[in-house]
Amino acid sequence: MMKKRIVILVSGNGSNAQAIIDACEANKINGEVVAIISNKAEAYALERAKHHQIATETIIHSEYPDRASFDKALQTRIDCYQPDLIVLAGFMRILTADFVHQYLGRILNIHPSLLPKYQGLNTHQRAIDNGDEVHGCSVHFVTAELDGGPIVIQARVSIGENDNASSLASKVAKREWQIYPIAVEWFCNNNLTLEKCQVIHNHQVLPSSGILYDELSD
Ligand code: GAR
């Protein structure tokens, strides 16, 4: 099977992009990261890409008059790489419905909460403030609804008495680096699709909370 072409969109550190690059290079994913595109020039993810001889692009959103024109420019650059899959990895921009529809079923995102809980920002602090005992992260297909697309896989972490937003973020990040490469691996093996707003994995419709990583056997 041909390797799938993956474009990753980032805004910052890029630790999730790194996990996916590493899994591709270790042949755990039948795919190749062909470009990393950032909306911020200072994103460390761009350095990571250069270390792996991956093409980089920077498209600064503040240089565009509105969301639609930024998304058009982004789409033009993405299409140059003819990707099979677009991976949002800490890409902190809301995408227009037009953009999302161009790539429906071919865009994944990772979010630091057990969706549908805590869409948006400051997820770790909100989970602590709410007195939750369990928190986590979710990989989902992107739809026009922010952080609202069908869920592929989730991983849980427990919130300890001494946890603060920063310690919890570290715990969640470790889980993110595990579940994102798994979801990308499934997609690249043609084993993960979005059909009529439902996630199909192994020819089965997944429950609305996706697969729970903690229950996966090796
Ligand atoms: C990750 O925790 C990811 O879940 C989050 O940004 C972080 C990026 O880290 N994404 C969102 O909050 C999207 N709504 P990274 O740049 O080191 O991969």
Q: What type of residue sits at position 209?
A: S
Pair (96, 46) in one structural domain: yes
Confidence band (pLDDT; 50, 70, 90) for 54? very high
Q: Using a 6 Å cutoff on CB, does residue 16 contact ligand 1? A: yes
Q: Which pLDDT does position 119 carry in this prediction?
A: 97
User: Which residues is 135 bridged to in the sheet?
Assistant: 157
Q: Using a 6 Å cutoff on CB, does residue 175 contact ligand 1? A: no
Residue 122 scores a pLDDT above 90? yes
Q: Based on the structure, what is the number of domains in the chain?
A: 2
**Is 79 among the domain residues?**
yes
Do residues 69 and 41 lie in contact, with contact meaning Cβ atoms separated by under 8 Å?
A: no
**Is 154 among the domain residues?**
yes
According to DSSP H, which parts of the chain are helical?
A: 15-25, 44-51, 67-80, 97-102, 123-129, 165-188
Query: CA 165 to CA 92: how far, in whole Å?
Result: 19
End position of a domain, from candidates 103, 133, 154: 103
Pairing state of beta strands 107-111 and 134-141? antiparallel
Which of 8, 10, 16 maximizes ligand 1 atoms within 8 Å of its Cβ, making it the mutation to test the pocket? 16
Note if the pTM is more than 0.95. Answer: yes
> Average of pLDDT values for 126-149?
96
Identify the three-state secondary structure at position 128. helix
Pair (13, 80) in one structural domain: yes
- State which residues form the domain around 191: 111-213
Residue 55 scores a pLDDT above 70? yes
> Average of pLDDT values for 135-144?
97
Query: CA 17 to CA 82: how far, in whole Å?
Result: 18
Q: Which pLDDT does position 217 carry in this prediction?
A: 58
Confidence band (pLDDT; 50, 70, 90) for 216? confident
Residue 15 scores a pLDDT above 80? yes
CATH number of the CATH domain containing 38: 3.40.50.170
Identify the three-state secondary structure at position 195. strand
End position of a domain, from candidates 79, 103, 127: 103
* Ligand 1, atom 6, residue with closest C-alpha: 90
Pair (207, 154) in one structural domain: yes
Q: Which pLDDT does position 215 carry in this prediction?
A: 75
Q: Tell me the per-residue pLDDT of 174-209, one tens digit each, with 9 for 90 and over.
A: 999 999 999 999 999 999 999 999 999 999 999 999
Tokens, residue 52: 């792996």
Count the Cβ atoms, other than its own, within 10 Å of residue 107.
24
Residue 173 CA to ligand 1 centre (angstroms): 8
End position of a domain, from candidates 103, 122, 153: 103
Residue 131 scores a pLDDT above 90? yes
Q: Is the dihedral of CA 25, 26, 32, 35 positive or negative?
A: negative
Mean predicted lDDT score pLDDT of the chain: 97
Q: Using a 6 Å cutoff on CB, does residue 96 contact ligand 1? A: no
Helices 44-51 & 15-25 angle (0-180, nearest 10): 10
Pair (69, 89) in one structural domain: yes
